[in-house]
Amino acid sequence: MADVLSQNEIDALLKQLSSGELDVDEINDEPAVKIKDYDFTRPAKFSKEHLRTLEIIFENFGRLVSSNLPAYLRKNVQVDVMNSEAVTYSEFANALSNPVLLGIVDFAPLKGNIIIELASNLGFTIIDRMLGGLGDPLEKPRDFSEIELSVLERIFTVLVDLLREPWKNVVEIHPRLERIETNSQFAQIISPSEMIAIVTINVCIGNVEGLMNVCLPFLTLENIMDKLNTKYWFSTMKNKDEDSYEEFIETAINKAQIPMKALLGKSTISVMDFINLQVGDIIKLDSRVNDELDVYVGNIVKFKALPGSGAENYAVKVTEIIREE
């Protein structure tokens, strides 16, 4: 009964209304309750937190692609995550135009498949670079030949293998490329009404730019949805034991490239002699034929070595370690 006004309160309100102290319009001017439509045919299975975590995962994937693909394409590759969204599979499939490149990936141990869609202009650029060309885009789109698809299969396999590391903080996956489809009608991996998350990635290979879309069905990720949040992702990173962290650092260091050079000798000549140098002239060095050479790692003398040859290349044989770190 707390909401019922007493007679004294009623009299006070009437007095304020009659004197103008209280405005009826101000009483009625209450903020309207915002109502958001809910589409029951498209239940919100992916929250903003889920999508943000997927973006973080594929940002790491993008960094791996940027550092690994140049070895195959002989060209700088830049990869950036643009956005992520939740849509139905039919919306994704209807937006595809043939010819299209769809990598169907078995996402074991999770059930079902995911799809990696690569823009056709990127596909033709990759093929051209792999076969020794400059990677120029085609003027007119056309279908991919069987030989071209076999070349692309190698790159898709590399992309699929690179998925393992970014997903480690959520689940240990063993993805495998099942096939490549060039017609979207043959890539019906789930029901058209099922919800999927799409992560859109911008890929630049030299001057050629295109999109890569990763389609992740809810049915595939359903068992790990509780782990798809940034709190879990970062806590997993933090809780990695020191042994595995040290192993990761050691592996990264072991793969690092270091410059080495063997110095045959030195010589000092006059500017006049330098200007008059001709092909066939002999420069006398300060070392003898049988002297050991200094071998540098970076700018540090690390080894002594004797010159020789190996196969068709010059080589040195290490005889002494100068400095141990």
Tens of pLDDT along 188-226? 888 888 899 999 999 999 889 999 999 999 999 888 888
Tens of pLDDT along 165-176? 888 888 899 999
Of 177, 184, 183, give the one whose Cα is nearest residue 155: 177
Query: For residue 25, is pLDDT > 90?
Result: no
Q: Cα 176 to the chain's mean position, in Å? A: 17
Query: What are the φ/ψ torsions at residue 197 (nearest 5 degrees)?
Result: -105, 135
- Domain residue ranges in the chain: 48-254, 260-321
Q: Take residue 158 and report the two structure tokens written for it.
A: 């590399």
As a whole number of angstroms, the distance between CA 93 and CA 88 comes to 9
CATH topology of domain 260-321: Surface presentation of antigens (SPOA) (2.30.330)
Find the helix or strand (DSSP H, E) in which 13 lies.
Answer: helix 7-19
Q: Provide the CATH number for the domain formed by 48-254 in this structure.
A: 3.40.1550.10
Q: Whole-number mean pLDDT of the chain? A: 82
For β-strands 300-310 and 176-181, DSSP reports them as unpaired
Asked if domains 48-254 and 260-321 share a fold, the reply is no
As a whole number of angstroms, the distance between CA 216 and CA 201 comes to 14
